[in-house]
């Protein structure tokens, strides 16, 4: 039986670990603490003075700036951030919390876990490729499309916070992001290689499939060459866009059918992901479309961009995909920010509609703004009356402007404070009170109702009727509903789609 080693961290804190390697990557060997609440990871090779200084900053100043401020607890579930440095037998190590339980496979793979991944980490790669999902994973691990949207939202939020702190990940990929689509969760890991622009350069150039084209193009140059592009904030933004695209569409945005060099596979790869990188769904250049006839059956229907185009992600996300993979693919400064993705994902979650087919694998889809909406994943048409709430907010008393934001209504759909007041943002800054819903919607005997739980100023503007807390209001086409008065207060205009 392995023994327990007891050491002290660089700042004098006691630490214990079981002297048995539980995981070994390219750079570190990992050991569990006796109670498995944290891990200790030792670098396999000596780290130079600059690496040591960087790790001291990551476990010290930068960690404190994120986790030890008001609301810092929020980020503990979105990052697996190292807490301390230590040394043992000449090797430098880090202490980090164990991943939350939901990021380990509960069921694993099909056929009673034929791949023996039960209990292993939920690396994002398992959920980003159609063939891995279809061929290997137990269906209970897959979650649904709404779960994927929520995981993407948390990922965008984590990257936004990292960038706000002046940091870049440098190797953002599905190997360094854990996701749990069944609960809509995400966690960024391996942050010990964070880049501090102008101070701490990157240790790695990234993971293939997620390296930005400008980095691929200059990868052959010496690391200290002024013309070489190294990982930084803008390269994170390319990787973030690729991850979101893959988590929602289960295919890669640049890996199509175009071949640039039939004789040299490595040169073809470098051109495909670098100088000649081209969006597989580019509206003006179809030369890199995925060849459906050559696709593996397990990649279908997701490899068919005609059947499942990126536009199915809705107006907010599809415009950012165009910005990321057309405007910003070779112009890094044009790429959407993490905040742009976060905002678009919040609005997209509000546009989501449950599929009426109980056997639909994705279970949710984005309302397509038609009079006869249908699920793009299984083809089921919506039937019945579908209320769509168009949100307006006041900039001055009695005057409202459109917010380019809609809320779909379905039974059990909730109304939250950020729907009633556009000054409230649904992010880490929400108070406990702001996290609670203020109303909900229900379909009863063919009529849609809004039940008021905590909106003291709810008013049917159309009939000039106040709706008290505990009361309910029937939704009708063209109706105007005031959710909150004052600056930022929201007015809702109801649009009733009859399908």
Q: What percent of the chain stands above pLDDT 90?
A: 66
CA distance 387 to 410: 8
Residue 392's DSSP bridge partners are 402, 491
CA distance 465 to 346: 31
2, pLDDT greater than 80: no
Q: CB under 8 Å to 61, separation ≥6 — which residues?
A: none
Whether residue 119 contacts residue 36, with contact meaning beta carbons closer than 8 Å, is answered with no
Q: How confident is the model at residue 286 (pLDDT cuts 50, 70, 90)?
A: very high
Domain spanning 4-98, CATH class? alpha beta
**pLDDT at residue 194 in the model:** 78
Same fold, 4-98 and 103-350: no
**pLDDT at residue 203 in the model:** 62
Residue 492's DSSP bridge partners are 391, 481
DSSP secondary structure letters along 141-180:
GS--HHHHHHHHHHHHHHHHHHHHTT-B-S--STTSEEEE
Q: Is 181 left (phi over 0), alpha (psi -120 to 50) or beta?
A: alpha
Q: Looking at residues 331-347, what average pLDDT do you find?
A: 97
Domain spanning 384-498, CATH class? mainly beta
**pLDDT at residue 221 in the model:** 80
The two tokens of residue 175 are 């190997």
Q: Is the CATH code 3.30.465.10 the one for domain 103-350?
A: no
**pLDDT at residue 370 in the model:** 78
Strand ranges across the sheet with 399-408: 399-408, 385-396, 490-498, 480-482, 459-460, 465-466
* Residue among 328, 444, 473, 428 nearest 78 (CA): 428
* Segment 182-208, tens digit of pLDDT: 999 999 988 877 777 666 666 666 788
**pLDDT at residue 399 in the model:** 83
220, pLDDT greater than 90: no
Q: CB under 8 Å to 443, separation ≥6 — which residues?
A: 384, 411, 449
CA distance 20 to 428: 38
CB atoms closer than 10 angstroms to residue 407: 22
**pLDDT at residue 198 in the model:** 67
Q: Looking at residues 130-149, what average pLDDT do you find?
A: 94
Q: Looking at residues 203-216, what average pLDDT do you find?
A: 83
Whether residue 472 contacts residue 451, with contact meaning beta carbons closer than 8 Å, is answered with yes
Q: What's CA 181's distance to the chain center, in Å?
A: 10
Residue 460's DSSP bridge partners are 465, 481
Whether residue 80 contacts residue 96, with contact meaning beta carbons closer than 8 Å, is answered with yes
* Residue among 142, 487, 146 nearest 350 (CA): 146
The two tokens of residue 423 are 């000054």
In the predicted model, what is the mean pLDDT of the chain?
91
**pLDDT at residue 25 in the model:** 77
Buried-exposed string 67-103: b where 16+ CB fall within 10 A, e elsewhere:
beeeeeebbeebbbbbbbbbeeeeebbbbbeeeeeeb
363, pLDDT greater than 90: yes
CB atoms closer than 10 angstroms to residue 151: 29
Give SS3 for 430: coil
344, pLDDT greater than 70: yes
Q: Looking at residues 325-334, what average pLDDT do you find?
A: 96
Tell whether the torsion through CA atoms of 132, 135, 140 and 146 is positive or negative: positive
CA distance 335 to 324: 5
Q: How confident is the model at residue 444 (pLDDT cuts 50, 70, 90)?
A: very high
Q: Looking at residues 449-466, what average pLDDT do you find?
A: 94
1, pLDDT greater than 60: no
* Segment 237-267, tens digit of pLDDT: 999 999 999 999 999 999 999 999 888 889 9
CA distance 4 to 25: 22
**pLDDT at residue 371 in the model:** 77
Match 């400064």 to its residue by tokens: 333
Q: What percent of the chain stands above pLDDT 70?
A: 97
Q: What residues does each domain of the chain span?
A: 4-98, 103-350, 384-498
470, pLDDT greater than 90: yes
Q: Looking at residues 78-107, what average pLDDT do you find?
A: 91
Higher pLDDT, 231 or 100: 100
Q: Tell me the CB-side half-sphere exposure of residue 79, using CA atoms within 13 A.
A: 28
* DSSP at 7: E
Q: How confident is the model at residue 232 (pLDDT cuts 50, 70, 90)?
A: confident
The two tokens of residue 492 are 């809702």
488, pLDDT greater than 90: no
276, pLDDT greater than 70: yes
Q: Looking at residues 89-112, what average pLDDT do you find?
A: 91
**pLDDT at residue 190 in the model:** 84
> Which helix (H) or strand (E) segment is 92 a member of?
strand 91-97
Q: Is 344 left (phi over 0), alpha (psi -120 to 50) or beta?
A: alpha
* DSSP at 313: G
Backbone angles phi, psi at 294, to 5 degrees: -100, -5
Residue 303's DSSP bridge partners are none
**pLDDT at residue 148 in the model:** 97
Burial class (CB in 10 A: 0-12, 13-18, 19+), 434: middle
């Amino acid at each position: 039986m392995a023994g327990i080693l007891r050491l002290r961290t660089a700042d004098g804190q006691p630490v214990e670990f079981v002297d048995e390697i539980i995981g070994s990557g390219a750079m570190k060997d990992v050991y569990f603490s006796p109670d498995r609440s944290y891990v200790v990871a030792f670098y396999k090779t000596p780290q130079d003075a600059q690496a040591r200084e960087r790790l001291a900053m990551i476990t010290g100043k930068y960690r404190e700036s994120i986790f030890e401020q008001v609301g810092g607890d929020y980020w503990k579930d979105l990052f697996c951030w190292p807490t301390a440095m230590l040394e043992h037998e000449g090797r430098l190590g880090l202490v980090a919390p164990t991943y939350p339980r939901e990021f380990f496979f509960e069921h694993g793979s099909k056929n009673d876990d034929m791949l023996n991944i039960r209990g292993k980490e939920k690396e994002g790669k398992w959920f980003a490729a159609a063939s891995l999902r279809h061929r290997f994973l137990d269906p209970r691990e897959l979650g649904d499309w709404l779960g994927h949207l929520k995981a993407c939202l948390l990922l965008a939020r984590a990257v936004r916070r990292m960038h706000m702190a002046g940091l870049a990940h440098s190797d953002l990929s599905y190997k360094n992001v854990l996701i749990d689509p069944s609960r809509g969760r995400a966690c960024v890991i391996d942050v010990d290689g964070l880049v501090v622009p102008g101070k701490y350069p990157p240790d790695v150039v990234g993971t293939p499939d997620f390296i930005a084209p400008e980095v691929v193009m200059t990868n052959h140059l010496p690391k200290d060459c002024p013309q070489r592009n190294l990982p930084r904030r803008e390269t994170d933004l390319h990787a973030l866009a690729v991850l979101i695209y893959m988590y929602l569409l289960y295919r890669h945005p640049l890996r199509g059918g175009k071949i640039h060099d039939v004789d040299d596979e490595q040169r073809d790869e470098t051109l495909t992901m670098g100088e000649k990188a081209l969006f597989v769904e580019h509206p003006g250049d179809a030369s890199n479309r995925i060849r459906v006839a050559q696709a593996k059956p397990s990649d279908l229907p997701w490899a068919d961009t005609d059947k499942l185009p990126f536009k199915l992600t809705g107006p907010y996300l599809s415009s950012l995909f165009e910005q990321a993979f057309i405007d910003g693919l070779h112009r890094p400064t044009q790429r959407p920010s993490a905040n742009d993705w976060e905002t678009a994902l919040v609005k997209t979650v509000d546009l989501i509609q449950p599929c009426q087919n109980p056997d639909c694998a994705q279970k949710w889809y984005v309302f397509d703004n038609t009079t006869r909406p249908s699920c793009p994943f299984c083809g089921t048409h919506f039937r019945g009356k579908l209320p769509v709430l168009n949100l307006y907010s006041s900039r001055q008393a009695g005057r409202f402007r459109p917010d380019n934001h809609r809320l779909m209504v379905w039974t059990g759909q909730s109304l939250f404070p950020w729907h009633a007041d556009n000054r409230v943002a649904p992010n880490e800054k929400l108070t406990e009170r702001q996290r609670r819903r203020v109303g909900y919607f229900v379909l009863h005997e063919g009529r849609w109702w809004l039940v008021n739980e905590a909106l003291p100023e709810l008013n049917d503007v159309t009939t000039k009727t106040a709706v008290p807390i505990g009361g309910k209001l029937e939704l009708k086409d063209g109706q105007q509903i005031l959710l909150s008065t004052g600056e930022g207060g929201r007015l809702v205009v109801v649009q009733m789609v009859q399908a």
